[in-house]
């Protein structure tokens, strides 16, 4: 126990926590025992150490859990990435394998058919050379044929008249008479047609040869030339014109039945390139030359009725008036 103090204060009496009141209290030496909250330094140190260890354990646990979550996330995404990369790599390998397989098969096929391929290439080269040579030759023929045709047409269009006066410059090619010009043009057209008979220029030259032969009074030569045009051009434009010229040549030669049949056949082709009204006019005149007046009158009446606006209608009406008067 501690000695009493005259002043008012509390004092610790014992180590067990009992507190003594001052002596001036009404109840002297009344002991009121209670637990104090104050800790000793050792306890405080122990508490701090324990709290430090608790916090360290919690921090380590939290860090461990966080590290585990991060590792799981990394593993999951790494696994997904690895799967994607593996799929991409596998596709790439598959493509490479397909290409290698295709290349190997192609190489094997080429090796097995090398001889056939060589023969095929040689044939292609030969065919190409032949085609190039053919087209080159055809162009050469076409050029030469047109050159000969141009010479013949120059003669056909030459001037008719007397020679130029002495001392005056020449005015180009000329002929004294039209018959001489026709004869010279006929010769040129025949040369072009004989040189290149199957070309377009040759067929046209043959047609002009036939027309000039008919104009010069040689229906037999004209008929032969027209038949060659028909054989070369068939149902083409010049083939149709040659059929019309052949019928006229036959009529000039006195072969009226053949000419009439040819004109009648051409008159039935209303969708052809030849004018039907002109054919009917030629047919009517051929009937007159053959002495078939009734057939001629019927043909002229058909022309007037079916083609009233035709330029041949006036001629047909004059022929009808002549037939009525006689």
CB-count exposure of residue 148 (10 Å: 0-12, 13-18, 19+): buried
For residue 50, is pLDDT > 50? Answer: yes
Q: How many helices (H) and strands (E) does the chain have?
A: 10, 5
Flag whether 229 is in a domain: yes
Comparing 6 with 283, the larger pLDDT belongs to 283
Residues sharing a CB contact under 8 Å with residue 163, sequence separation 6 or more, in sequence order: 174
Flag whether 102 is in a domain: no
Model pLDDT, residue 287: 95
Give the residue numbers spanning the domain of 67: 50-97
Q: Are residues 85 and 186 both part of a single domain?
A: no
**Predicted structure pTM score:** 0.59
Model pLDDT, residue 18: 45
Give one word for 167, left, alpha or beta, with left for phi > 0 and alpha for psi -120 to 50. Answer: left
Q: What is the CA radius of gyration of the chain?
A: 64
Q: Are residues 197 and 297 both part of a single domain?
A: yes
Comparing 12 with 262, the larger pLDDT belongs to 262
Residue with tokens 């014109």: 241
Flag whether 214 is in a domain: yes
Comparing 48 with 232, the larger pLDDT belongs to 232
Q: Are residues 92 and 187 both part of a single domain?
A: no
- Pair 160, 176: CB distance under 8 Å: yes
Count of domains for the chain: 2
Q: Are residues 192 and 301 both part of a single domain?
A: yes
Flag whether 6 is in a domain: no
- Pair 242, 229: CB distance under 8 Å: yes
Q: Are residues 187 and 316 both part of a single domain?
A: yes
Instruction: Provide the Cα torsion 21, 24, 30, 34; round to 10°.
Output: -20
Flag whether 21 is in a domain: no
Pairing of strands 11-12, 18-20: antiparallel
For residue 100, is pLDDT > 50? Answer: yes
Comparing 175 with 50, the larger pLDDT belongs to 175
Which is nearest to 201 in space by CA: 213, 191, 211, 212? 191
Model pLDDT, residue 191: 95
Flag whether 57 is in a domain: yes
Which of 2-16, 158-172, 186-200 shows the lowest per-residue confidence on average (mean pLDDT)?
Answer: 2-16
For residue 37, is pLDDT > 60? Answer: no
Residues sharing a CB contact under 8 Å with residue 152, sequence separation 6 or more, in sequence order: 185, 188, 189, 191, 192, 205, 208
Model pLDDT, residue 11: 42
For residue 185, is pLDDT > 90? Answer: yes
Output the six-digit token pair for 66: 């966080």
In this prediction, residues 246-267 reach a mean pLDDT of 94
Q: Are residues 187 and 311 both part of a single domain?
A: yes
- Pair 266, 243: CB distance under 8 Å: yes
Helix (H) / strand (E) element for 174: namely strand 174-175
Which is nearest to 284 in space by CA: 273, 237, 306, 272? 306
Comparing 51 with 5, the larger pLDDT belongs to 51
Q: Are residues 185 and 87 both part of a single domain?
A: no
Output the six-digit token pair for 168: 């005056």
Q: Are residues 89 and 198 both part of a single domain?
A: no
Residue with tokens 């507190």: 19
Flag whether 146 is in a domain: no
Instruction: Provide the Cα torsion 260, 261, 267, 272; round to 10°.
Output: -130
Q: Are residues 301 and 211 both part of a single domain?
A: yes
What's the CATH number where 293 sits?
1.25.40.10
Q: Are residues 186 and 301 both part of a single domain?
A: yes
Residue 76 has a CB neighbour count (10 Å cut-off) of 10
Residue ending a domain, among 35, 63, 97, is: 97
Distance CA 1, CA 21 (A): 12
- Pair 323, 299: CB distance under 8 Å: no
199-251 pLDDT tens trace: 999 999 999 999 999 999 999 999 999 999 999 998 899 999 999 999 999 99
Q: Are residues 184 and 93 both part of a single domain?
A: no
Flag whether 210 is in a domain: yes
For residue 75, is pLDDT > 70? Answer: no
């Amino acid at each position: 126990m501690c000695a009493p103090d005259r002043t008012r204060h509390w004092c610790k009496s014992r180590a067990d926590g009992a507190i003594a009141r001052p002596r001036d209290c009404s109840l002297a030496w009344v002991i009121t025992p209670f637990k104090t909250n104050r800790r000793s330094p050792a306890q405080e140190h122990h508490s701090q150490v324990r709290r430090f260890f608790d916090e360290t354990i919690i921090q380590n646990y939290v860090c461990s859990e966080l590290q585990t979550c991060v590792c799981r996330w990394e593993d999951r995404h790494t696994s997904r990435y690895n799967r994607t990369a593996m799929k991409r790599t596998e596709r790439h390998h598959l493509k490479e394998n397909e290409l290698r397989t295709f290349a190997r098969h192609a190489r094997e096929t080429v090796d097995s058919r090398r001889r056939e391929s060589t023969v095929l290439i040689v044939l292609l080269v030969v065919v190409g050379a032949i085609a190039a040579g053919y087209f080159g030759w055809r162009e050469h023929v076409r050029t030469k044929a047109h050159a000969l045709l141009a010479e013949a047409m120059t003669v056909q269009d030459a001037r008719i008249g007397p020679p130029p006066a002495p001392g005056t410059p020449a005015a180009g090619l000329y002929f004294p008479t039209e018959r001489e010009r026709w004869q010279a043009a006929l010769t040129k057209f025949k040369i072009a047609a004989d040189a290149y008979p199957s070309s377009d220029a040759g067929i046209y030259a043959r047609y002009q040869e036939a027309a000039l032969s008919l104009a010069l009074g040689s229906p037999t030569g004209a008929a032969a030339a027209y038949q060659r045009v028909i054989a070369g051009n068939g149902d083409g434009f010049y083939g149709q014109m040659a059929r019309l010229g052949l019928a006229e040549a036959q009529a000039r030669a006195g072969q009226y039945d053949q000419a009439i049949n040819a004109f009648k056949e051409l008159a039935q082709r209303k969708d052809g390139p030849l004018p039907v009204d002109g054919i009917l006019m030629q047919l009517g005149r051929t009937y007159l030359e053959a002495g078939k007046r009734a057939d001629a009158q019927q043909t002229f009446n058909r022309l007037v009725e079916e083609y009233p606006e035709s330029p041949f209608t006036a001629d047909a009406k004059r022929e009808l008036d002549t037939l009525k008067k006689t």
